[in-house]
Amino acid sequence: MLNKMSEQLDFLQHSLDLRAKRAEVIASNIANADTPGYKAVDFDFAEALQAQTSGQGGSLQMTQTDGRHLAGQALPGSGGQLQYRSAVQRSIDGNSVDMDIERSAFTDNALKYQSTLTFLSKRISNLMDAIKGGQ
């Protein structure tokens, strides 16, 4: 019984951690919207969550396709892989950030973060009620 509750809470914790990391990635894209040559990145949330819950862990980092590329900063323990986002219409300076897509992704991620947080809060509240005897 306790193991099952622990697994559920761990799953929600991993979900919140990945949502927070995804918010950082999207915010970085938005912050670099005017940076020439910047390529928008994101990661597959479902794949990263699967890696987290299956115990694979891993790190969320950019792959270097050329020895002259700078190594991206890894986000420890997040699973998945950062990938370049496909540009709908690339700008003249080579920047691939589409603000409409980034705003939409950020809002969607924030709503899902909040709903997961609400679900976790309710789950903990129900457990506390059960421990207290429903008073």
Q: In terms of Cα–Cα distance, which of 113, 129, 118, 98 is closest to 17?
A: 113
Instruction: State the maximum Cα–Cα separation within the chain, in Å, rounded to a whole number.
Output: 65
User: How distant is the alpha carbon of residue 75 from its chain centre?
Assistant: 10
Q: Is the pTM of this model over 0.85?
A: no
pLDDT of residue 20: 95
Are 58 and 51 a contacting pair, CB within 8 Å?
A: yes
Q: Percent of the chain scored above 70 by pLDDT?
A: 80
HSE at residue 110, side-chain half, CA atoms within 13 A, is 9
pLDDT of residue 38: 92
- 120, two tokens: 């976790």
State how far the Cα of 73 lies from the Cα of 121, in Å rounded to an integer: 32
Greater confidence (87 vs 57) lies with 87
Are 53 and 14 a contacting pair, CB within 8 Å?
A: yes
For residue range 3-40, list pLDDT tens digits in order.
777 888 889 999 999 999 999 999 999 999 999 989 99
